[in-house]
Amino acid sequence: MGRPRIFITQPVAPSAIERLQGVAEVEWNPDPVHIVTKDELLSAVRGHDILFCLLHDKVDGEVIAANPGLRAIASMKITPSDVDVAEATARRIPVTVIPPIVGEATADIHMGLLIAVARRMVEGDRLARAGIFPGSQSSHLEGAGVSGKVIGLVGGGGRIGRAVARRAQGFSMKTIYWTPRRKPEAEEREAGLTYVPFEQLLAESDFVSVHAPLTPETRHLIGARELRLMKPSAFIVNTARGAIIDEIALVQALAERRIAGAGLDVFEDEPRVAPELLAMSNVVLTPHLGSAVRELREQMAHIVVDNILAVIDGKQPPNCWNPEIYSAPG
C-alpha cells in the first residue's frame, strides 16, 4: 500500500505542508484567492484519501460519496457547519476540527471594524489616496465617538464576546450583553458585563456587537423588527456568522439611514457580498478575516495536521467531531 494522498483546498502554512509531505503525497490548490468549485472538489476527493478543507468549503454528501475509500475530512474550522457530518458518520469517515483558539484575533478585528466605521477611516483613506485633503478640522468626515459609548454584545458570553468586552474597557465603554443562557453573576463581574434583555440591548447600544453562534434559532436573529429598535445613531458590527443578521433587512435599514452604519467581516451568502453593501459608504467590509493572523493560522494548520497524522496512524484524532465512529461496531 502506497503513501496516503492528501488534498488541501487552499495554501496553508508551509511548515504544516512539510509535515504532511513527510508521510504522504500532498497536493493543493495554489491560489489563495480561488475557492475550489464543486466540480474541482469532486475531482480532488476522487483522487485522494484525505481532504484538508477550510472554512469556506462546502463538503456535502455528493462530495463525500465521490470516493468510497475516503479516510478523513480534516476541517480547519471550529465547527464543521459546511460538512455533511451525518453522511460522513454513516460511512465511518472521521470529521475533524480545531479547538476554539481564534477568540483574540477575532476580537481584534471586531474592534477594528467598530472604530473604522464609526470614525469613517475607510472613507478617509480613499480621499487621501485620491489626493483630497479637506482640512484637518473639516466637518466633511465627522463621525461618531467610541470612548464612553455603550456596546451591546449579542450572544456575548463566549470567548470572543468576553475578549471584545476586555477591549471595550480600554475605551471606557459601558458593556451590556444578552444571551439565552445568562452567565453567573461572578463571571459577569469579572468580565465587566451587565446583563439586559435583548430588546433593551438593541435600544440602548451605540454599537450592537454580534457574537452568537449560527444555529437554526439564531438565523436572522436580527431582522427588520430588531433593526428598528436600534438608535438611528447606532452601528452594528458582525464577526460571527453572516446569517445571524437578515442581510436584506440590514441593507434596507442602512439605505434608509435607520441605523448609522455597519462593520461586517461575515456575510449571509459567502463568498457573495450583497451589491448594495458594496456601494454604501457607511459600511466597512472585510472578507472574513477574523482568524487571519499569520502565527494563528500556522497554529491552526498544525492542529489539522495532528488530526490527519492520527488518522494515518490508525488512531482516533484528537479533535474528532464524530468520535462515535470509533466506538460503533465495524
Point out the catalytic residue in the list 270, 276, 297, 298. Answer: 270
Tell me whether residue 48 is one of the annotated catalytic residues. Answer: no
pLDDT of residue 136: 86
Active-site choice (226, 241, 247, 268): 241
Counting other chains too, the contacts that 198-201 makes at CB distance below 8 Å and 24 or more residues apart are 198/154, 199/229, 200/176, 201/152, 201/154, 201/176, 201/177
pLDDT, residue 1, reads 60
**pLDDT tens digits along 193-224:** 999 999 999 999 999 999 999 999 999 999 99
Q: Which residues partner with 194 through β-bridges?
A: 176
C-alpha cell at 245: 443578521
Q: Is 188 a catalytic residue?
A: no
Mean pLDDT for 39-50 is 98
What's the pLDDT score for residue 327? 87
H helices of the chain, where? 14-21, 38-46, 61-65, 85-90, 103-118, 121-129, 159-169, 185-191, 198-204, 224-229, 247-255, 275-278, 294-312, 324-327
Domains and CATH numbers, the chain: 5-100+294-327 (3.40.50.720), 103-285 (3.40.50.720)
**pLDDT tens string 236-293:** 999 999 999 999 999 999 999 999 999 999 999 999 999 999 999 999 999 999 999 9
Mean pLDDT, to the nearest integer, of 171-191? 94
Q: What is the pLDDT of residue 2?
A: 85
Q: How confident is the model at residue 178 (pLDDT cuts 50, 70, 90)?
A: very high
Check if the beta carbon of residue 107 is closer than 8 Å to that of residue 131. no
Average pLDDT over residues 57-84: 97
- The chain-wide mean pLDDT, for the chain, equals 96
pLDDT of residue 330: 56
Q: Is the pLDDT of residue 172 over 70?
A: yes
pLDDT of residue 197: 97
Q: Which of 19, 71, 211, 288 is catalytic?
A: 288
What share of the chain has pLDDT > 70, as a percent? Answer: 99
**288 part of the active site:** yes
